[in-house]
Structure 1
Amino acid sequence: MADKIQDIDDRDLGTSPSRINDPRIRHEVSRALVWVAVVGGVALAVWIARPLLVIFGAMVFASMIDGGARLLGRVLSIARAWRVAIVLVATVSFLLWLGYFAGSTISQEAAQLPAIVERQLGELVAWARTQGFQVDQSQLQNYLGNIGSGISTVTRALGGILGGVATIVLIIVIGVYVAIDPQLYERGVAWMLPREQRDRFFITASKMGQTMRRLMAGRLLGMFVEAVFTYVMLAWVAPLFGIGAVPMAALLAILTGLLAFVPNLGAIISGALMVLVGFSGGMEMGIYTIAVYFFVQNFDGYVVIPMIAKKTVDLAPALVLAFQLIMGILFGIIGLFLADPLLAMIKVALERRAEQAGESSKKEVAPDGA
């Protein structure tokens, strides 16, 4: 009787629609499930990409605060929370001063800048015609339309930064919490990993943090140096050569410093604005602004950044520029600003992966060599 029941159960299981006995069909179903999982993972990553980018922005902000707190720790023997508070107060004070200075000193200059740029572009087109370049009226309108579209895009992007108060506040709040006690969050992430991988995670996180701090230190120092040197060269040094102070020196210095946070693209944009404003004051002033641009960029690129971040990452300029373009297209101005730090973290992770693979291979070869 028991044998008959077993036979019935086997037949039932063999004909059940939820059971696949053919190994070939099981293999194809497994492959299909893998593809479904991959597509679902990509869709999930795209869906949560912007929140993840905000979290990464908070990590970048936290690394800057952490770097300042570590520097203060070398001269002040106080608790970390107090050092973080000093860094935050100093940052807020600087931003308030910058806002007051910008509002009281360069607001009129900022209003005049678009008109000067448009006039200089028109003169550039006229000069091109005198040199034999055929630029008809329809082409000129297309060029001006593209320029206007580009300026409008930049304006909307900047408005998005200033208008996205909730995103900025979220980045600041998360960054401050992480900067106060970063080990707490490292332990939380490590707790979710298998026990045998936690030591490797701590090493990787430590290298990533060190890389990010040095990278941001180089960026901030480069921004400060470029802004100060640009203002000194345009406002104080230019009159010594009999050229006269370059118009909008303060505005150009601030824009140069802010855009220095975005390597490659920021330097091109700030340099183009500087040269256009320079040529509005004559040929000599225009040539002088070109010389100032190359001097400031070379000093920052060959002296400041190598001095601070020469041991951080070695990223090819073409790779950085391509990644900036991709991030800018996908995520807008925030992606453009975070492209360089994100690329640096990816490189550190890949280098750590290669080191771990090398360590594993050595362990496997060691017994044979013995």
Structure 2
Amino acid sequence: MSRQVKRVGYNKTMRLSAIKKIDITSSTIFRVLLILLGFWFIYRIFDIVIMLFAAFIVASLVEPIARYLDRWKIPRALSVIVFYVLVLLILAGLITLIVEPVVIQSRQLATVVPSVINSLNELTPLIPRIEHAALIDSIQSGLLNFGDNIANLSWNVFTGTRSVIAGFVSFLFVFVIALYLVVERDALKKMAKLLTPTEHYSYVARMIERAQKSVGRWVVGQIVLGLMVGLLVGVSMWLIGVPYALLLGILAGVLEIVPAIGPLIAATPGVLVALTQGWAMGLTAFVVYVIIGQVESHVLIPNVMRRAVGLPPLVTIIAVIIGARLLGVLGIILAVPAATIIAIFLSDIARADGAEELSG
């Protein structure tokens, strides 16, 4: 009997302690409301947040250059402006050189889509026949629209439409903020000092520095990797005589941002186009893509991306898909840097938890 009384008393004590644990104070409610208000505010200014993050990426790219030029006492504002001008001149030159050939090749490729489908149908009886006229029309219209959009790009800039003006203002905003972040040394750390409690500031400042370095290395590495793979594919396709080599090279370079799946997607149209020239050409193109893939995996990526934060391919693919779903092409560009920053914080938290467990 006494044991039962003790057990009942113990159970009551446990219930009371549980009630105490889930007691919600007014300060807790205030914090939750404050967090919800913060999410609502970010949602309302989401486009500005995206532009600020894009400015952070640009600043992360320019910061190492400005730091290198500091050795020669060159003002940071001057070095950043010169860098901007050089980049714009290079982009303008590339656009001038490749827009017309890309438009022509896109339109030509649209006209040979039916022959590509016929080549696939003739490969082997084991492959199901492709007889969908809607598929052919969709591919053709996509290629034609792609060419027309590029052809009209320069014209649209001067049409003065609201969307073009808004896009230009956003573009200018991103690069002006990036200029400020680079010229004003440790601008992000200074802002963090205003918003972060004193006891946490050193940690936040350290994380900002790590994130900026990692994102800058990733951007530089991705640009170099895309250019090298695009050049390899374009030149190789041209050397073996595959049509639309320039278009295939650009496609390979752009899709390099998506690991594993990107090169596979880029290789598919190249092999299919090569098959229109015969079995031998299709097989040769396939072998060339395989060789380039091996060079990319075992030579380019280990050397070009070795200093960047390595994300697992699956995480990168998921990040790119989410970015594309939320923001389209812009989301694809911003997805991996965002995932890189999140990975830095998560790895640091995991490292701290592991250290606590070992010390415990």
Equivalent in the alignment of 1:180 = 183
Aligned counterpart, 1:344:
340
Q: Deviations over 1:38-91 (max 9, x none)?
A: 6555444444334322221221122222233345557x5533333323322221
- Which residue identity lines up with residue 214 of structure 1 in the other structure? R
- Whether the 8 Å CA contact 1:223–1:261 is kept in 2: the answer is yes
The 5 Å alignment of 1:229-244 reads 229-236=232-239, 238=240
Distance 1:153 1:298, change over 3 A: farther
Q: Could you tell me which of 265, 272, 292 is aligned with 1:269? A: 265
Matched to 1:65, the amino acid is: V
Alignment-derived partner of residue 9 in structure 1: none
Distance change >3 Å, CA 349–CA 144, structure 1 → 2? same
My pick for the range that moved more, 188-197 or 263-272, is 263-272
Q: 2:103 aligns with which of 80, 98, 107?
A: 107
Q: 1:296 to 1:65 in 2, by over 3 A?
A: farther
Q: Do the aligned partners of 1:327 and 1:336 also contact (CA within 8 Å) in 2?
A: yes
AA at the equivalent of 1:82: L
What residue identity is the alignment partner of 2:265? Answer: I
Q: 2: distance between equivalents of 1:198 and 1:28?
A: 27
- Corresponding residue to 1:192 among 195, 201, 207: 195
Aligned partners of 1:225 and 1:179: how far apart in 2?
Answer: 28
Q: Deviations over 1:112-163 (max 9, x none)?
A: 2333345423542x2378436366x6xx256457757977998999999x96
2:205 equivalent in structure 1: 202
**Distance between the aligned counterparts of 2:260 and 2:319, measured in 1?**
11
Q: TM-score, normalised by structure 1?
A: 0.74
**Equivalent position SS for 2:308:** coil
* Count of aligned pairs between the two proteins: 330
- CA deviations over 1:225-282 (Å, ceiling 9, x no partner): 112212321223x2xxxxxx22222232233223323444542332223223222322
1:215 lines up with 2:218 in the alignment: yes
Tell me, yes or no, if the aligned pair for 1:231 and 1:250 is still in contact at 8 Å: yes
Q: Does 1:171 align with 2:174?
A: yes
In structure 2, the partner of 1:12 is none
Q: Percent identity?
A: 22
Find the structure with the greater CA-based Rg. Answer: 1
Query: 1:69 matched to which residue of 2?
Result: 66
Distance 1:107 1:153 in 2: 10
Tell me, in whole angstroms, the C-alpha distance in 1 between the residues paired with 2:146 and 2:351: 42
Structure 2 partner of 1:127: 122
> Does the 8 Å contact 1:65/1:88 carry over to 2?
no
CA contact (8 A) 2:103 2:148 kept: no
Q: Does the C-alpha gap of structure 1 residues 116 and 34 become closer, same or farther in structure 2, counting only changes over 3 Å?
A: farther
Alignment partners' CA distance in 1, 2:351 and 2:149: 40
Task: With the length of structure 2 as denominator, give the TM-score of the two structures.
Answer: 0.75
In structure 2, relative to structure 1, the CA distance for the partners of 1:353 and 1:278 (3 Å cut) is same
The amino acid of 1:292's aligned partner reads V
| SS of residue paired to 1:191 | helix
Larger relative contact order (Cα-Cα within 8 Å, sequence gap ≥ 6): 1
Matches within 5 A, 1:68-107: 68-71=65-68, 76=72, 78-107=74-103
In the TM superposition, 1:254-265 aligns within 5 A as 254-265=250-261
Give the equivalent residue in structure 1 for 2:248. 252
User: 1:60 and 2:63 equivalent?
Assistant: no
> 2:271–2:285: 8 Å Cα contact kept in structure 1?
yes
Letter in 1 for 2:278: G
